[in-house]
Amino acid sequence: MNANKTLSIIVTITAVIILVVAGGIRLKSVSSANQNNCTEEALMCPDGTSVVRSGLSCEFAACPAQDFYIGTLSTSIDGDLSLSMQSLLPDAKEPYLIPLRFADARGVDAYVNRPIAVRGQFVVGNIFMVETYGNPPNEVVVGTPSTNTTVVQTPTYTLGRGDVAVSVGQSKSIDGLVVELESIIGDSRCPVGVQCIQAGWVDASVSLSTTGETSKTVNIRYAANTIPVKFGNYSVSIADVTPANISGKAISIAEYTVIFHVEKAPVVTAGAEGVKCTESGGLWNATHKECGGIDANKCSAIGGIFNECGSACRHNPNAEMCTLQCVQYCQM
């Protein structure tokens, strides 16, 4: 009886040992398989550290995030948005790009190709989920305090063709147009780092004038999708406003500088005949010297010959098809 009991204990212990060894081999085999499935790649993060692929899906681990990042908002051909910022690599010739995903993308289009500050967290690798965004503050800290901390100035809007920067009380001339920034009427821009329903706007009171003409005071709004203000053959809009709106920091009127964008339409001279046509309420066709939309009396008054039934294909005599209808016009 005791011998049978002893033999039973020995058999049980042997079975347990076999199971443990087999399980260990199995665990090691699965672990090795997981390691072998992930390619050995490293992704550099914005702070200079690197992350590798891991897990069952072999995705890159999320990069460590700092308080916020600044750079230029760029867009690809496919419409994907990314933050273009200076690389920490000393010999890098290309900027570092952070792919962006926005929790709320309303108003983002206004920042394309312009400086932007984003706050949020990395979700996979260097893909950054933006929780809040806005105009950059005057200076920011790049990197983490424990690694590479550097103070850099905010990127400023680069003046392009047709741009002019005007402070409150100043007047500047561009392409024959005098722009005077009289005052800032209102500033509802979303503060940097604060989540808002909309990006907000700035309303400016501006005086526009040209040489020898009476000036005109208009209100110009700085916001997304704002239609430029027309003045003569000029179109005037606001490209940027400084300083940025920072929560808890008041901006005095004297601190504001507005960058205006001015486009001048070319002046088309119609000639004496064209002027007579338009003054009579007609539509001038300079190519064929015709004045349409006026009657026989007006045509005679401006020295033209009225045609009561002209061909609809008179401008294209070789047309394969032509509608049978009379077209009235005044031939000059």
User: Position of tokens 């051909």?
Assistant: 77
The reply to whether 106 falls in a domain is yes
254 and 277 fall within a common domain: no
Which of 102, 129, 153 is the last residue in one of the domains?
Answer: 153
Which of 153, 188, 208 is the last residue in one of the domains?
Answer: 153
- List, for residues 146-187, the tens digit of each pLDDT value: 333 333 333 445 667 788 889 999 888 888 889 999 998 888
Percent of the chain with pLDDT over 90: 4
Q: Reduce the DSSP state of residue 257 to 3 states and report it.
A: strand
The reply to whether 32 falls in a domain is no
Report the distance separating Cα 219 and Cα 226, nearest Å: 12
The reply to whether 132 falls in a domain is yes
Report the distance separating Cα 120 and Cα 242, nearest Å: 24
For 239, phi and psi rounded to 5 degrees? -95, -30
Report the distance separating Cα 152 and Cα 142, nearest Å: 7
- List, for residues 200-229, the tens digit of each pLDDT value: 888 999 999 887 677 888 898 888 767 888
- List, for residues 3-13, the tens digit of each pLDDT value: 555 545 554 55
> What radius of gyration do the chain's Cα atoms show?
35
Contact 298, 292 (CB under 8 A): no
The reply to whether 143 falls in a domain is yes
The reply to whether 197 falls in a domain is yes
The reply to whether 42 falls in a domain is no
Q: What is the mean pLDDT of the chain?
A: 74
Which of 119, 153, 187 is the last residue in one of the domains?
Answer: 153
289 and 320 fall within a common domain: yes
Question: Hey, what are 285's tokens?
Answer: 């066709």
70: domain range? 50-153
Q: Reduce the DSSP state of residue 177 to 3 states and report it.
A: strand
For 8, phi and psi rounded to 5 degrees? -65, -40
- List, for residues 233-283, the tens digit of each pLDDT value: 788 888 888 888 877 778 888 889 898 988 887 655 556 777 888 777 777
190 and 230 fall within a common domain: yes
**pLDDT over threshold 80, residue 80:** yes
Q: How many domains does the chain have?
A: 3
The reply to whether 290 falls in a domain is yes
- What's the whole-model pTM score? 0.40
CATH code, domain with 123: 2.40.50
The reply to whether 229 falls in a domain is yes
247 and 322 fall within a common domain: no
Position 33 scores a pLDDT of 37
69 and 138 fall within a common domain: yes
